[in-house]
Structure 1
Amino acid sequence: MDRISLGNEEFEGRNNAYILADEERDELALVDTGIATDAVRADLREGLAERGYEFADVDDIVLTHFHVDHAGLAGEIQRESDATVYVHEADAPLVEQDPDAVAAVEEQRLELLEQWGVPDDARDELLSFLEMGKSVEGEPAETTPIEDGTVLDVGGRTLETLHAPGHAAGLCCFEIGGGPETRGGGDAADGTEAFVGDAVLPVYTPNVGGADFRVDRPLERYAETLERILDRDYDRVWPGHRDPIDEPTDRVQTILEHHRERTENVLDVLEEHGPADAWTVSAHLFGDLEGIHIVHGPGEAYAHLDHLRQEGVVTFDEGRYALRDSATDRESIGEFVA
């Protein structure tokens, strides 16, 4: 798979932009574009130039989700090339930078930061960080919304859309097939690999709870996504960050086990320290936080706490979570997550 490695100082390591090219049909597509900084823009332009392309040659852009480190340059490339930008319908308004959609997210963020018990100084630091981050959002793009099951013919390949919410409401994986003429089994490699964006990462576990405030029951949604990827039994997957994952089944099982262990850790905090808000639980789990982690930490704690509340294991009152009188059966903790 042809990929360009792009700089990324804040998130889960260097981003990937994947190139799909069909020289016979003169078709060029990108899967994700990177963040809209001068350094990443230069990385992408240089990577394309080494292959004989420029922004103006891009016919299609397929976005795994709306986060700026994946979608930031989509609008700029579209302006130069008139490329079609595909993204899940849940994320399309944010890629288009629709004012109402952006305002709704910002309002929900403030509500959750208060609910999670984030102190004023940490909240102000986070909001200042996010305000500076607006400079790397890039230009808005006109999008073509897609949904689960949509099949795209781009760059000489077919990509089947698998909606994969959890980390983001509109996150999608794309199962890689051959060209349109091979759909239905003509290519022996069809369906054995996929672009997975941030659904599965090779080093970090993708943040749930703080990465997209719009996701309802984020831990449950994410666990369902992982189970769906397991069912596909891919030979290899191509993540949004770092290197390809050659044993995706093992990696997905590791991530699921990580969340089972984290659920136990959350329960340990409540047992040892008593009722607490998400910020306090986060402090016990992760220590001091700065930058984007001011929201990722309590967001992750919230995802687990809210899941336990939905399952009747903890109660929630006036911003604080507490264990119910009936103790949790640790032998069945995995049932809460998978």
Structure 2
Amino acid sequence: MERISLSNSAFEGDNNTYLFSDGPETVLIDTGDWMATTREQLESAFDERGLEFADVDRIFLTHWHHDHCGLAGEIQAESGAEVHVHADDAALVEGSDDAWEAMYDRQKEYFEEWGMPEENQAALLERMADGETTVETPSVTPFEHGETFSFDGVELEVVHTSGHAAGLSMFEADLEGERQVFSGDVLLPVYTPNVGGADVRVDRPLEKYLRALQGIVDAGYDRAWPGHRDPIADPADRAQYIIDHHEERSWRVLDALDRLGPCDTWTVSADLFGELEGIHILHGPGESYAHLEHLEREGTVVREGTDYRLADGVADELARTEAERWELEY
């Protein structure tokens, strides 16, 4: 297995595609972005190994985001490769008009629900329209959690990890005597993947993402191969770090409501992240919403229309917690 690093139009760092070419089959996990420069880079990497796109037999996609599946259609057109993706993401990857219209409609509903100002909505919708492309989309073979695939002496097992995206999945494999995992955007070495905004189809996104992270902690993988940047030598430690990060963010959300009083998601987002630009106009309130919704179900936050407030007694608990922190620090 070889990791090939590819540039992209996203902010998480270079994408990874993983190439298996030591046996009769040539297999890819993720394909990189749809940009022409990304295609050139992947073609060059193939050429250095005496391969071309026509040699690819199978493609496994971690999820529908274009920086992971962008070239799948073009590679399939040249090779006839079978493209596998989780059933929840299949329609988006295939470019179904109905699936994309439903996505856009849900996004617009959330923009209103979150209290996103009209000028920010316009900027975001313009950005998303600019990002639309006529890229060739593949036909796909859907998979489900727990399915296994074998090729060239390798067995991949699907681990469905919804949160960042509805169909986001990891692939477990025993490689070089180690239990390893191709973690896609579930586990990244630098950024914490967005939940709430990156895929508005996901119900209870933070709950599901935290469950996925706990699964990584419990699994005890020896190594993770992420969708972006460098391999992760201690996946459990990184997953626990992100769990703790979200715990801290929840406290910050509660603190914002304590200071600001009842307010909508956009106001909480502005308190957490400040002024946002580009795709972060979607990700900031999306992440804030994921936390507010999670806290509402835990009973620490109450929703009234589009506003949220602290549940009775929570302000006193926050004051006690802050006093305890102050004593520990000083």
TM-score of Structure 1 vs Structure 2, range by shorter chain: over 0.9
1:205 to 169, 192, 195: 192
CA–CA separation in structure 2 for the residues paired with 1:144 and 1:155? 20
Q: Per the alignment, in what secondary structure is the counterpart of residue 316 of structure 1?
A: strand
Report if aligned partners of 2:159, 2:169 keep a CA contact under 8 Å in 1.
Answer: yes
Report if aligned partners of 2:10, 2:67 keep a CA contact under 8 Å in 1.
Answer: no
CA–CA separation in structure 2 for the residues paired with 1:38 and 1:60? 22
CA–CA separation in structure 2 for the residues paired with 1:155 and 1:124? 49
Match runs of 1:18-167 below 5 Å: 18-23=18-23, 25=24, 27-135=25-133, 138-167=135-164
Give the residue type in structure 2 aligned to 1:45. E
CA–CA separation in structure 1 for the residues paired with 2:184 and 2:261? 38
Q: Per the alignment, in what secondary structure is the counterpart of residue 22 of structure 1?
A: coil
The match for 2:165 is: 168
Deviations 1:237-256 (A, max 9, x none): 00000000001111111100
1:220 and 2:218 are equivalent in the alignment: no
| TM-score, normalization by structure 2 | 0.94
Could you tell me the percent identity over the aligned residues?
Answer: 52
Task: Could you tell me which runs of 5 or more consecutive residues in structure 2 were left unpaired when the two chains were aligned.
Answer: 322-330
CA–CA separation in structure 2 for the residues paired with 1:155 and 1:276? 56
Report if aligned partners of 2:218, 2:236 keep a CA contact under 8 Å in 1.
Answer: no
Shift of 1:21: 1.5
Provide the aligned length of Structure 1 versus Structure 2. Answer: 319
Shift of 1:9: 3.5
Shift of 1:177: 3.0
Give the residue type in structure 1 aligned to 2:67. D
Deviations 1:308-327 (A, max 9, x none): 11111111122111111221
Deviations 1:26-69 (A, max 9, x none): x1001001111111111111111111111111000000000000
Q: Per the alignment, in what secondary structure is the counterpart of residue 263 of structure 2?
A: coil
CA–CA separation in structure 1 for the residues paired with 2:273 and 2:174? 41
Give the residue type in structure 1 aligned to 2:177. A
The match for 1:274 is: 261
Report if aligned partners of 2:9, 2:33 keep a CA contact under 8 Å in 1.
Answer: no
1:177 to 174, 190, 193: 174
Deviations 1:254-302 (A, max 9, x none): 1000000000000000000111111111111111111110000000000
Report if aligned partners of 1:173, 1:195 keep a CA contact under 8 Å in 2.
Answer: yes
Report if aligned partners of 2:173, 2:180 keep a CA contact under 8 Å in 1.
Answer: yes
Report if aligned partners of 1:20, 1:156 keep a CA contact under 8 Å in 2.
Answer: no
The structure 1 segments of at least 4 consecutive aligned residues displaced by more than 4 Å after TM superposition are 328-332
Report if aligned partners of 1:20, 1:154 keep a CA contact under 8 Å in 2.
Answer: no
Shift of 1:93: 0.5
CA–CA separation in structure 2 for the residues paired with 1:113 and 1:317? 17
The match for 2:242 is: 255
Deviations 1:80-109 (A, max 9, x none): 100000000000010011111111111100
Give the residue type in structure 2 aligned to 1:2. E
CA–CA separation in structure 1 for the residues paired with 2:177 and 2:72? 32
CA–CA separation in structure 2 for the residues paired with 1:305 and 1:63? 30
Shift of 1:155: 4.9
Task: Could you tell me which runs of 5 or more consecutive residues in structure 1 were left unpaired when the two chains were aligned.
Answer: 179-186, 333-338
Report if aligned partners of 1:29, 1:155 keep a CA contact under 8 Å in 2.
Answer: no
Deviations 1:185-211 (A, max 9, x none): xx733xx10100000000000000000
CA–CA separation in structure 2 for the residues paired with 1:176 and 1:105? 33
CA–CA separation in structure 2 for the residues paired with 1:243 and 1:258? 20
Shift of 1:153: 1.5
Range 290-299 or range 14-23, more displaced: 14-23
The match for 2:324 is: none
